[in-house]
A and B are shown apart, each in its own frame.
Chain A
Amino acid sequence: MKIDRRCFLSLAGGLVAGHLLSPVPWKVTDDLSIWTQNWPWTPVPETGPVAWKETVCTMCPGGCGIKVRMIKDRVIKIEGSEDYPINRGSLCPLGYSSIQYLYGPSRVTSPMKRTGERGSGKFEPVSWDEAISEVSGKLDALRKNGQSHTVACISGSDKGTVPLLFKRFLEAYGSPNFIRTPSGQDAHETAAYLAQGHSDKNVGFDLENATFILSFGCGLLDGGGAPGYQFSTYSRFDRRHTLVQVEPRLSNTAAKAKKWLAAKPGTEGALALGLARVIIENGLYNRNFIENHSFGFEDWTDDNGAIHMGFKRMVSEYTPSRVAGITGLEARQIESLARDFARAQKPVAVCGYNECRAVADIDKTLAVHALNALVGNINQSGGMIVFPDPEYTVSPVEKDRIASTGLTKPRADMAGTDKYPQSRYLLNLLPDILMSAKESDLPVQALLVTGANPVYTLEDSTTAQAAFAKIPFIVSFSSFMDETAQYADIILPDHHFLEGYRDVPPPEGVGKPITGLSKPVVSPRYDTRNTGDTIIDIARKMGGSISNSFPWDGYEAFLKEALKDQYRDLSRNGYVENVEKPAALDVAFATDSGKYEFYPTRRHTTGNGDEAKLPGFKETDVPGKETSGGVILIAYKSPRIASGAVANPPFMTKTIDADMLKKEKLFIQINPETAGKLNLKQGDEAVIETSAGKASVKVDLYDGIMPGLAAMPAGLGHTAYSRYIAGKGVNVNALLQPVADPTYGINKAWGIRAQLKKA
């Protein structure tokens, strides 16, 4: 049959019509839409029976109790534990986000050996045996060379059993160089030592029972301190509670305070003294405390018959009008604040959660402690509480000759040396020490880093990077590929906290000594090991007295032994609370006078006389050159940015406002008045430069910041972890420059002079 055009056309037409009438096109259309509803690349989470497990969050030192929602071996959700005494159900956003660190691309999934340049992030996986042999081999060689004291350990904390194992290791090995990262603890510990005579005690504030909280710049609701504790305290506030925030910037805490007092930064000490004067002058102080439990309030005579100035006489110079001049507040405000504070049912003054980056100012801290002493709230409900570190009972270390010699050597960071005899750790000094040392006698030949990320968190991080790059051998124990891990030669990754045991020592600043226990809720996902186990393994491998000092089968055995009778309660309840009441006032102070010393007699000073010892106000100089049109850069904390412990997880970065971060650019906050002077507008591109570094930023005009200041959030500008974290904004530490306190060595620079110019 010949197919002509007509026939063809009708055939084609018929086919089309036939198909349309047949179910084929309809079925195909339907199937296509069903396919779009079940795209194979859109995950379908597996379901199963739900279980809840309780444990303790260690994403920051805040120590919150959490409930973990599990389906099989999967962690689905984290929620706050209602009956955990620290946070009572509250959690900060980092706690909710911690599942993003259990899973995800930031984890170090097995032991690693560096193959590329330092900081390049090139590593190859190695076996645990190989990695541990390499570490013990290096350490052994140094020891045999008589250089055991050149091994240092930087730890994010000096409390708890893992730091205890590191300290123990260094002791058995022969190095005095256990170094805790600089933190808010430093100033409080020093003040507690000077005024109360304690060397190993925690300073906490019983915020939950206080009715009037006077905060000198604490980021109570900005994710500072122990966020969970502070949030839960705040959530129970009612009309009877007052929070007053002294801060140069309207932070989240200031926004929620009944009163925000924008004192000039660095003048908080003067304000505390001004308040003290009003309180004393009006007889509003606690007579019982002053008369029976304090020393140095009035003028006093020493054994040699010399008359010394007392606290009362010293503060008499701090009249409201003078303090108003120093702080920029009004005299009237100072007087009424002093009255309100002293008359409150349970007042407490807090400061220095921001010590580490804003003034680690001993005088200020002493002055604030003195305010608490004046109202007699020391070791009282709702007051300032000092409690001992948890006690660990473990057998003494076995030291051989090398160890004993090594331990007598001066510390690499100069803490406890003649120059800084009353300081315990001075990591902030280490970069400069390393930079000025010759390669041949570098005081640190090998470095162990645990729970810390100094390459990122130290001020002047560029120098810190260069300094750490000089250290021949670095071992990181980090669970995550952080900046310091990228500088390491070997990474021995720790479990995530949901995968292993660890004790959670009482959080700094919290008014009750609660030790928690973090327990595994999932089996380890990767080839990681509890750092406690790893350190025991290294010690075992080194043999001799070092091995003998670590007789435990593993970390859990050590934990049980160290915690002794507490362990049972810990594993049953998840926490233990020291039920003992804070020490009664007649036995509370370990000073020579046995009392609270308003005049800290044991204070080591460079200067002479009463002025040097008493916590009078001294202007702190801000690093950098003063120039016209300059600003002073300060760092601030946002509750939406994790700025210690770990980098900001993707969930938290998602919460950051568009006026803080836009693409890779960070916004710097300045007052519109400052902006006018610098000819800057909202959203302008600008360059900020300090003696430490330079960064390009965008400008955010914020009425809530004091004119003349510029503020950058802490916690951004990471270069490591993963592409979800790195490359966002600027690390403010790269622009800051530490200034050492002449007698304590800790950093006291609360800001830095900077040039801010339109780009």
Chain B
Amino acid sequence: MTTPAIPEGVKRCGSRQFLLWLGVAALVVLWGVYAMYRIWFYGLNQTNMNNAYGFALWIWADLAVIALGGGAFFSGFLAYIIGLKNVKNIINFAVILGVVCYTSALLILGLDVGQPLRGWFIFWHANVHSMLTEVAFCLSVYLGVLIIEFIPVLLENPKIQKVRFFHHLSHNMHEIMAVFAATGVFLSFFHQGSLGGVPGVLYGRPFAFREGLFVWPWTFFLFTWSAAAVGPLFTASMCRLTEAITRKKLVKDDVYHLLAKISGWMLLTYIIAKSIDTIYWATVTAPSMGFALMDFYSNNPLYNIWILVAEIAVCGFLPALILITRKGRENKKLLFGAAILAIIGLLINRWVMVLQVMAAPLMPFQEEWFMYSPAWTEVATSILPIAYGIILISLAYRYLPLFPQEKELNPGN
């Protein structure tokens, strides 16, 4: 008798339909791969970046996926360190999302640097003062941790379980997972922070620059905090999306409610801190360098003052307030609406901390804002991770027992 590849007791779509689904995503991946080829063989002139926009769409995408991938570390933190059992029902999914996000981040970094073959100089000739060095170290080690966290999930596949060695391995790994999760949390805490440090230390860029604590600018803490707040909301939303696509209930609502509650409070505290930071920056830090708040906002739609209002009020306080109320959380529409707003808020935050930093003119005799719109190659490679994520998650969902509650929630199968 052949072992089925699909986990026992769950139902999956037919292989034809599955292949078609994968095929569509694969086309998008191919488009991205073609763009990668152009960039690696012809160089970064294939993008629309320029000397004013040394950092652009990709670095934003990097910061964004890492922040969203933060769901993995924070769920891990909740599950293994705080010991919230309920979170374990979604942790496998969070880990896979994390793997997708972090591998994508590294891939984009590999594209973004001018000399990818020398990328390892960041380790070899490491400058310990550079936030980017800190990011690179933590990021790669954390990706290792994530993969280690992912392996036992992978080994759960019935076919793999048949191999005795893997069976034992997976069992033993489960035992020690808490140690890795803890390491991961620590690493992640640091690199999320370092990513915040990347713009925050730029004292030549008053839009980005923040004072701080010891060597860390406030953005260091704000980035970690925001990733911790919004990451789980992203995990939850993606999970909900998977439910919608598969038309199956995969986790119980109380898992969502728990995550939403925690995130809500995290978000609220974060956005209060962020507001204080913004006020201090706008009234003390920036003016000391000769800038009034409105010097940083132009009347072009990308870098308008509304972007600040959107980030803090619409995508900050509003979702936070929804999520901390029971009524808000327990209304599915409100819950996921708030989650999406919070995610958008996070994306805006990373956007301004990368692109607006580059756009604002500094020398008074250069009044023009620097403008940029990404080239197709940048778009294609930034969309690639989404398609790649869809493929990986689909495969994982099909072949791995991701959701412990699935059988119970879908008894008819």
The interface of chain A, by Cβ under 8 A from chain B, is 5-6, 9-10, 29, 32-33, 35-37
Q: Are B115 and A36 in contact (CB under 8 A)?
A: yes
A-contact bits for B121-145, CB 8 A (1 contact / 0 none):
1000000000000000000000000
Query: Of A6, A32, A37, which is within 8 A of B163 by CB?
Result: A6
Q: Complex formed: what's the CA distance from A33 to B114 in Å?
A: 12
Q: Count of A-B contacts with CB under 8 A?
A: 18
Residues of A within 8 A of B120 (CB): 29, 33
Residues of B within 8 A of A36 (CB): 115, 117-118
**B365 in contact (CB, < 8 A):** no
Residues of A within 8 A of B163 (CB): 5-6, 9
Q: Are B165 and A6 in contact (CB under 8 A)?
A: yes
Residues of B within 8 A of A32 (CB): 117
Chain A at the B interface: mostly helix, strand, loop or mixed?
helix
Residues of A within 8 A of B118 (CB): 33, 36-37
Q: How far is the CB of B277 from chain A (nearest CB, A)?
A: 36
Most buried by A among B115, B118, B163: B118
In the complex, residue of chain A having the shortest beta-carbon distance to the beta carbon of B165: A6
Q: Complex formed: what's the CA distance from A32 to B119 in Å?
A: 11
Q: Complex formed: what's the CA distance from A48 to B188 in Å?
A: 54
Q: Complex formed: what's the CA distance from A10 to B169 in Å?
A: 13
14 contacts between A and B (CB under 8 A): A5-B163, A6-B163, A6-B165, A10-B165, A29-B117, A33-B115, A33-B117, A33-B118, A33-B120, A33-B121, A35-B117, A36-B115, A36-B117, A37-B118
The interface size bin for chain B is under 10
Residues of chain B in range 161-195 having any CB-CB distance to chain A below 8 Å: 163, 165
Q: How far is the CB of B170 from chain A (nearest CB, A)?
A: 14
In the complex, residue of chain A having the shortest beta-carbon distance to the beta carbon of B121: A33
In the complex, residue of chain B having the shortest beta-carbon distance to the beta carbon of A5: B163
Q: Complex formed: what's the CA distance from A10 to B163 in Å?
A: 11
Q: How far is the CB of A63 from chain B (nearest CB, A)?
A: 36
Residues of B within 8 A of A29 (CB): 117, 120
Q: How far is the CB of A666 from chain B (nearest CB, A)?
A: 19
Residues of A within 8 A of B117 (CB): 29, 32-33, 35-36
Q: How far is the CB of A702 from chain B (nearest CB, A)?
A: 15
- Top 9 closest A-B pairs, CB basis? A33-B118, A32-B117, A36-B117, A33-B117, A36-B115, A36-B118, A6-B163, A29-B120, A6-B165
Q: Complex formed: what's the CA distance from A36 to B163 in Å?
A: 44
Residues of B within 8 A of A33 (CB): 115, 117-118, 120-121
Q: How far is the CB of B129 from chain A (nearest CB, A)?
A: 23
In the complex, residue of chain A having the shortest beta-carbon distance to the beta carbon of B116: A36
Q: How far is the CB of B218 from chain A (nearest CB, A)?
A: 37
Q: Complex formed: what's the CA distance from A35 to B163 in Å?
A: 43
In the complex, residue of chain A having the shortest beta-carbon distance to the beta carbon of B163: A6
Residues of B within 8 A of A6 (CB): 163, 165
In the complex, residue of chain B having the shortest beta-carbon distance to the beta carbon of A6: B163
In the complex, residue of chain B having the shortest beta-carbon distance to the beta carbon of A10: B165
Residues of A within 8 A of B165 (CB): 6, 10
Residues of B within 8 A of A9 (CB): 163
Q: Complex formed: what's the CA distance from A6 to B167 in Å?
A: 12
Q: How far is the CB of A600 from chain B (nearest CB, A)?
A: 50
Residues of A within 8 A of B121 (CB): 33
Q: How far is the CB of A682 from chain B (nearest CB, A)?
A: 10
Q: Complex formed: what's the CA distance from A35 to B116 in Å?
A: 12
Residues of A within 8 A of B115 (CB): 33, 36
Residues of B within 8 A of A10 (CB): 165
Q: Complex formed: what's the CA distance from A29 to B118 in Å?
A: 8
A-contact bits for B103-121, CB 8 A (1 contact / 0 none):
0000000000001011011
In the complex, residue of chain B having the shortest beta-carbon distance to the beta carbon of A658: B368
Q: Complex formed: what's the CA distance from A5 to B160 in Å?
A: 11
Q: Complex formed: what's the CA distance from A29 to B115 in Å?
A: 13
Q: Complex formed: what's the CA distance from A90 to B51 in Å?
A: 32
Residues of B within 8 A of A35 (CB): 117
Q: Complex formed: what's the CA distance from A236 to B50 in Å?
A: 40
Q: Complex formed: what's the CA distance from A630 to B285 in Å?
A: 51
Q: Complex formed: what's the CA distance from A385 to B30 in Å?
A: 76
Q: Complex formed: what's the CA distance from A33 to B118 in Å?
A: 5
Q: Complex formed: what's the CA distance from A33 to B117 in Å?
A: 5
Most buried by A among B117, B120, B121: B117
Q: A9-B163, A32-B117, A33-B118 are in contact. List 12 more A-B contacts (CB 8 A).
A: A6-B163, A6-B165, A10-B165, A29-B117, A29-B120, A33-B115, A33-B117, A33-B121, A36-B115, A36-B117, A36-B118, A37-B118
Q: Complex formed: what's the CA distance from A157 to B121 in Å?
A: 59
In the complex, residue of chain A having the shortest beta-carbon distance to the beta carbon of B164: A6
Q: Complex formed: what's the CA distance from A36 to B117 in Å?
A: 7
Q: Complex formed: what's the CA distance from A737 to B120 in Å?
A: 64
